[in-house]
Amino acid sequence: MSNRDLLIEIGTEELPPKALLSLSGAFQKEIEKNLNDCNLKFSGSKSFATPRRLTVKIDGLQEMQDAISIEKFGPAIKAAFDEDGKATKAAEGFARSCGVAVEDLDQKDDDKVVKLYFTKQEEGKPAVELLPDVVNGALDALPIPKRMRWGSLRDEFVRPVHWAMILFGSEVVPTSILGVEAGSTTRGHRFHSPEEIPVPSPADYEKLLSEKGYVIPCFEKRMALVRAQVESEAEKLGAIVTIENDLLEEVTALVEWPVALTGSFDEAFLAVPKEALVSSMKKHQKCFTLEDSNGNILPHFITVSNLESQDPQKVVAGNERVIRPRLADAAFFFEQDKNTRLESRQEKLKTVIFENTLGTVHDKSMRVEGLAAFIADAIGADSKLATRAAKLGKCDLLTGMVGEFADLQGIMGYYYALHDGENEEVARALNEQYMPRFAGDELPSTKSGIVLALAERIDTIVGLFGIGQPPTGSKDPYALRRAALGILRIIVEKELPLDLADCVANAIFHYPSLPEKEGLKEAVLDFIFERFRAWYIDEGVSANIFLAVDAVRPSSPLDFSMRINAVQEFASLKEAEALSKANKRVSNILAKSDSVLAGSVDSSLLSEEAEKELARQIQSLLDEVGPLLLEQNYTAALSSMASLQAGVDRFFDEVMVNTEDEKVRNNRQSLLNQLRKLFLQIADISLLQAG
């Protein structure tokens, strides 16, 4: 069957830059889905995205649907005909639905029941007939929160549509897309090449736009070019440029023909904290900032223009003119904020709502202060410094700088605390309370920062669970999953001997009342420890290993992590599988037992050599692994327990556990109970067995 390439382009006014990539990906996905639903095969696809277009190219699309075999079963023969062999209403209704007479239907066995049966081959339709619905259906399904209308049209889209192209090979697919007749022409750059550009075939599209239209349609190629140009501009100054992915993607989504240019600003603005300058230039002007080798910000910036100007210096001067008042605002806020001490802002936090049921930010600060004192004592931190940091923790929310640049919360708290003469560790903790801000981000470096970061997150999770607002499905408006993972990362990576159950209980204590208090501690712990599962899966740890440790639920995340590592190493030993199966067998035996098992084993009731030997081994190991468990050396303890494999196998080969003698039976079950408890001091290794 012959095939052709297909090109679909929707030309618009400038699309929202932060949504461009997601819209492009969704458009490609929906086109592919609709083609598959139409039973139209293709060999590949590629998406293109610029500020003024969404494009999908489909390679090797079938010109015609494959023929479809239609098969239907009707009523059973007994129900289709009466005693005289006359067709019943059920048979007639089935025949009508198939478009034939009853006598034209066949009979076929369907799951041991003979039924009326209809089959026919339906010829496929030409792809050209199906493509309009494919494209329109894809556009309707795009994730656009708020659609708009333009002119007198009733069509709705994210932005007004000015042209459309559906080109199947060299043939235009005739249809109307969002009020525009589809053609075979595209449009180039708004200023460099505004005229229409004929596209002979989908294969010519990308090259034509690039060479004649001053447009680089491929998002990835354009982004690579932006990066290369920005790095080249920085190199000219001997400077270092930090290119953050979110800014790089946004800038790429703003330009079709990128040209990087370097501008400057007044050195007097360098007195403003670096983070504020970066935030101002990034947020308002989408500029890249430059630093020297010591990390000091330089009075220069790199902007990416969307055209090749005949006088680039005028473009630079225009950007410098716009940036100056932005930086002046930041300098003004900084100077004004320093006139008021952080501590004096705390009272005003009573007017800022944290959550309607949970009270104000001031209420939260008081709770966090109490929890911080508890955590500080538990990890050997300075309680006075930690509680001071908790007291000042949210005061910078009321500063002008954070009001203007919300992403600077914590960072400005650090600068203002230093200006106020606060202890440097306290000042650093005000910023570190938000660490890690995202996956892979750095962790707090000071003990007070660690304490405050943990207390903030635990208080938030406890409070929201306590009012019945845990995350549901994909909805997590307070980012509680991220907060839980942050708690685990801090405790594990900083190797903190912290009991999370005690921390959660203390957090609950500091709330005057919570509607969902019953079972709250367990619910919060389940939620936080469940984050471990995703963590370990990402690290290649099997779900069974996680479940084995989670079954005994150590309440210290660090201890939990150490057990995971030990069980993973144990699982690689040759003895592990046999001991896991044996533990599963023991678990099943004990679950069926009606007897109350003694803690000790009566050696006088041991008659078989295999059970005597197993009893000696278990007793020896109890003495051996005790000190190892106290040291939390679980790897060594499990390695020692692996020596039980031969003895356990021999026991089950030679000893009848459920003998008729009740005393002997109970004694043997007590022996097996000792075996199981030995392993349960670390994990339930019976769960290492799949299924």
Please check whether residues 307 and 252 belong to one and the same domain: yes
Residues 6+ apart with CB under 8 A from 490: 436, 443, 444, 450, 453, 454, 496
Q: Which of 416-430, 438-452, 598-612 has the lowest mean pLDDT?
A: 598-612
Phi/psi for 164 (5° steps) reads -145, 150
Whether residues 573 and 535 fall in one domain: no
* pLDDT of res. 78: 86
Q: What is the per-residue pLDDT across 23-45, written as a single tens digit (0 to 9) for each?
A: 999 999 999 999 999 989 999 99
Q: Which of 212, 234, 254 is the last residue of a domain?
A: 212
Interval 533-549: pLDDT, tens: 989 988 889 999 999 99
Give residue 272's Cα distance to chain centre.
35
Domain-embedded: residue 551: no
As given in the structure block, the two tokens for residue 396 are: 């910078």
Residue 654 lies in a domain: yes
Whether residue 152 is found in the same domain as residue 242: no
Q: Residue 608: what pLDDT?
A: 86
Q: Is residue 349 part of a domain?
A: no
Residues 318 and 421 in one domain: no
What is the C-alpha separation between 535 and 493, in angstroms, rounded? 13
**Residue 586's pLDDT band (boundaries 50, 70, 90)?**
confident
Cis ω for the linkage preceding 436 (within 30 of 0): yes
pLDDT higher at 240 or 593:
240
For residue 15, give the DSSP letter. Answer: P
Per-residue pLDDT band at 690 (split at 50, 70, 90): low
Q: Is residue 345 part of a domain?
A: no
Same domain, yes or no, for 179 and 202?
yes
Q: The dihedral of CA 97, 101, 104, 105: what is its sign?
A: positive
Q: What is the pLDDT of residues 644-654, one digit of tens each?
A: 999 988 988 88
CATH number of the domain at 391, please.
Answer: 1.10.3210
Find the domain containing 273 and state its range.
220-337
pLDDT of res. 41: 94
**In terms of domains, do 79 and 60 share one?**
no
Distance of CA 612 to the CA centre of its chain: 54
Question: Mean pLDDT over residues 581-585, rounded?
Answer: 87
Specify the range with the lowest mean pLDDT, choosing from 39-43, 238-242, 413-417, 597-601.
Answer: 597-601
Contact 97, 114 (CB under 8 A): no
Indicate the pTM of the whole model: 0.81
- Name residues whose C-beta falls within 8 Å of residue 506's C-beta, 6 or more positions apart in sequence: 370, 371, 374
What's the CATH number where 582 sits?
1.10.730
Whether the pLDDT of residue 691 is over 60: the answer is: no
Burial 490-509 (b: 16+ CB within 10 A, else e): bbbebebebbbbebbbbbbe
The answer to whether residue 61 is domain-embedded is yes
Same-domain status, 570 and 680 = yes
Say yes or no: 57 and 195 in one domain.
yes
Q: Are residues 387 and 471 in the same domain?
A: yes
In a domain, 629, yes or no: yes
396 located within any domain: yes
* 322 and 383 together in one domain: no
pLDDT at 596: 61
Three-state SS for 279-340 is HHHHHHHCCEEEECCCCCEEEEEEEEECCCCCCHHHHHHHHHHHHHHHHHHHHHHHHHHCCC
> In the predicted model, is pLDDT for residue 689 greater than 80?
no
Q: Last residue of some domain: 337, 362, 383?
A: 337
Are 431 and 493 in the same domain?
A: yes
Q: What was the pLDDT predicted at 674? A: 87
Other CB atoms within 10 A of residue 45 CB: 17
pLDDT at 1: 61
Q: Among residues 168, 191, 212, which one ends one of the domains?
A: 212
Residue 318 Cα distances to 264, 322, 656, angstroms? 11, 6, 91
Domain assignment present for 347 = no
Indicate whether 495 and 411 sit together in one domain.
yes
pLDDT of residue 261: 97
Which tokens hold the place of 367? 């709770």
For the residues 489-508, what does the mean pLDDT come to?
96
What is the count of structural domains for the chain? 5
Q: What is the mean pLDDT of residues 363-383?
A: 97
Q: Which of 411, 412, 408, 7 is nearest to 217 (CA)?
A: 7
